[in-house]
Structure 1
Amino acid sequence: MTSMGKTRRMMAAGLSGLALALALTAPAHGTPGATEQRAAGQGATEQGAADAAWRGLGWQLAQTGTDARFRGLAAVDRATAWAAGSKGTVLRTTDGGRSWRNVSPPGAGELELRDVEAFDSRRAVVLAIGEGEASRVLRTDDGGATWTESFRNTDPRAFYDCMTFFDQRHGLAMSDPVDGKYRILSTRDGGRSWAVLPNEGMPAALPGEAGFAASGQCLVSAGERDVWLATGGGATARVLHSRDRGLTWTVAHATIPAGDPARGVFGLAFRDRAHGIAVGGDYRADQPSPHAAAVTGDGGRRWTAASAPPPAYRSGVAWLPYSRTAALAVGPTGTDLTTDGGRTWRTVDTGSYDTVDCTRDGACWASGEKGRIARLGAR
């Protein structure tokens, strides 16, 4: 396909300027097994395209009518996205972010909603976090007009942090360690019912280790069976990986510093089964985060520190559509862009966001404190 033909096709799909620029530099027939040398050469081209495109782009804030903090975000396509946050608040857009409708579950005002997974404009699952019965899962099949509680935690030792779905039926949620191991909850019917998985294949947790319910990205999946779990708080930050939907796990040490309850890996993003990015640091505003990002090219068996990481703590990360090497990371002090697969980052925005998500058809959203939800668009 010629460059001009590809341009017309992408513009017809309504892609953002940045995704379009990156798409034009991507190979016409890329595969997940592309060599690092090829990725490096492409990355140099993408960096120039991304820099040029970003000068005309930025986060466009929406009027949400709430001061809730939205740490949960699910981008479905360029028209539809869901956000879940404090005070039991759920918002939904079906017009590309121009307007957001409050579709919060009735009576959920005391719940802290930290994750949302959406399948389309009508079906979504939200996770409430907290000790004991504060951890719950609710599902809607009618765009938020009605909600059904499908899980309520009755174990006072459990504290659920994140969830992920492999497809429209199979998903997992994770709790901080119970009896020395992370607890995994599984659904096979799209979140309508849940069951705790056996923990024989789960490695022991480190003393003080836990997950961070900061962005809905401490548990992420890629493909039909692979899932990764991010940790912090222990002596070292770790990333656990399962190839069988949470039954058995391997563990790898990440390069992001831990050793304190406020430090570790806060967010993960995998663009396929091999290539992933981890972000985190120390969430305390008065503490530095000098090694806030790491990358893997082998499914999480080994992690390498970013040579030029984000300058501060970051809680959310997402791969940009139509690019094999570009991604965004967000946190309370700004947004950073990488065009070389996470090895180097540069700050492109100083607004506060907790999480970020992009769609396959070229739209990106971010959300955070004080009702902030934004879509990437022309300045």
Structure 2
Amino acid sequence: MRAVVLVLGLLVALAVPASASGHLPKWDVTPTGVTAQFRGLSAVSARVAWVSGTQGTVLRTVDGGRTWKSVGPPDTGTLEFRDVEAFDTDHAVILSIGPGTDSRVYRTDDAGAHWRQTFQNTDAAAFYDCLAFFDPWRGLAMSDPVDGRFRMQATFDGGRSWRQVPDSGFPAALPGEAGFAASGQCVTTSGPFDAWLATGGGATARVLHSGDGGRHWSASDTPLPSSPSAGVFALAFRTPWQGVAIGGDFANPTAPGPAVALSNDRGRTWRTPGRYPAGYRSGLAWRGGTVLAVGPGGSDLSPDGGRHWTSFDTGSFDTVDCTPLGSCWASGAKGRVARLG
């Protein structure tokens, strides 16, 4: 019985934010000692997190952010590592963005002491934006459309090797449609087979969904604005059915248009809640039943799955990530990394 009570207490603590007791949570900024912009973030635990960003910078903490160690691959100072997916303290995969050969994937199995390049794009028309994993073995890396369809690489061995998903499984891309490499969250997964990718730039901001591990995809429109600088920037699904999309216009970050859309049917349909964060947001994460959103204009939380939102911080962040046990981290420009207090 004691174990049941403890588990129920943990679930309640994760599902209800601190605001339920009259206090909003706060970000405790940790000193990284660098000025890189960290759009890549992977939370492993309350003590362990990885961040990646400009100038080939990859940092790791194992003491809750009190100290950070530079663990990036050598001779990569010209690359931008916009996404990192860490499996534990020692194993991680990072993605660099850019046209042609600048889009690469590296993997480490010894906490960054050594890295192996496992993928390098050779198509000048491709531009890889982000990656996500179903589990420690299966993952996807997304590129902007090539020849009218999104391009996807898949791994079945934890990022040690990659192979292209057939383009025939994707619907035609809209003119100008692409992904945004703003937070490492333009691709997300939930459960063993469901994946989603976020788009903008076309006539409508869309979400593409795959229910078979990334082989076949269907597209749905969202109510978020779309333009060359606007669309869906991040996706987060609590379960394969319940998801949130967030974005806006990074060129007009205070525009009042809807920045959030909700889905309860695996991303087939999307609706705008009655209340949503004011302005552009680029990162999303679930903490139990609470949703956290971050962007250059501040941080917000929704205790009811995205229906109502409260601002709790005005500092700038690009991305946010939470562990299954509720430890949350955020990162952004000028070496800024924080842990949720």
Q: Same fold (TM over 0.5)?
A: yes
1:124 aligns with 2:92: yes
Structure 1 consecutive aligned stretches of length 4 or more whose deviation exceeds 4 Å: 1-5, 7-10
* 1:280 alignment counterpart: 247
Aligned mates of 1:128, 1:154 — CA distance in 2: 14
Aligned mates of 1:59, 1:287 — CA distance in 2: 22
CA contact (8 A) 1:21 1:53 kept: no
- Unmatched 5+ stretches in structure 1: 11-19, 27-45
* 2:305 alignment counterpart: 341
1:294 aligns with 2:261: yes
Aligned mates of 1:131, 1:8 — CA distance in 2: 48
**Letter in structure 1 aligned against 2:85:** E
Q: How does 1:1-379 map to 2 (within 5 A)?
A: 5-6=5-6, 10=10, 22-23=13-14, 46=16, 50-52=19-21, 54-55=23-24, 57-258=25-226, 260-285=227-252, 288-320=255-287, 323-324=288-289, 326-377=290-341
- Unmatched 5+ stretches in structure 2: none
Aligned residue-pair number: 341
Aligned mates of 2:307, 2:21 — CA distance in 1: 20
Aligned mates of 1:107, 1:285 — CA distance in 2: 36
- RMSD over aligned Cα atoms: 1.9
CA contact (8 A) 2:253 2:280 kept: no
Aligned mates of 1:125, 1:53 — CA distance in 2: 39
Aligned mates of 1:308, 1:286 — CA distance in 2: 17
CA contact (8 A) 2:263 2:270 kept: yes
Aligned mates of 1:75, 1:211 — CA distance in 2: 23
CA contact (8 A) 2:231 2:247 kept: yes
Aligned mates of 2:186, 2:274 — CA distance in 1: 23
**Letter in structure 1 aligned against 2:332:** G
Aligned mates of 2:116, 2:253 — CA distance in 1: 41
Alpha-carbon shift at residue 306 of structure 1 (Å)? 1.9
Alpha-carbon shift at residue 104 of structure 1 (Å)? 1.3
CA contact (8 A) 2:234 2:247 kept: yes
Alpha-carbon shift at residue 346 of structure 1 (Å)? 1.5
CA contact (8 A) 2:253 2:297 kept: no
**Letter in structure 1 aligned against 2:336:** R
Worse overlay, 88-97 or 158-167: 88-97
**Letter in structure 2 aligned against 1:332:** P
Q: Secondary structure at the match of 1:200?
A: helix
CA contact (8 A) 1:290 1:309 kept: no
Aligned mates of 2:3, 2:291 — CA distance in 1: 23
Alpha-carbon shift at residue 8 of structure 1 (Å)? 10
**Letter in structure 1 aligned against 2:243:** G
Identity of counterpart residues, as a percentage?
55
CA contact (8 A) 2:140 2:154 kept: yes
**Letter in structure 2 aligned against 1:95:** D
CA contact (8 A) 1:184 1:197 kept: yes
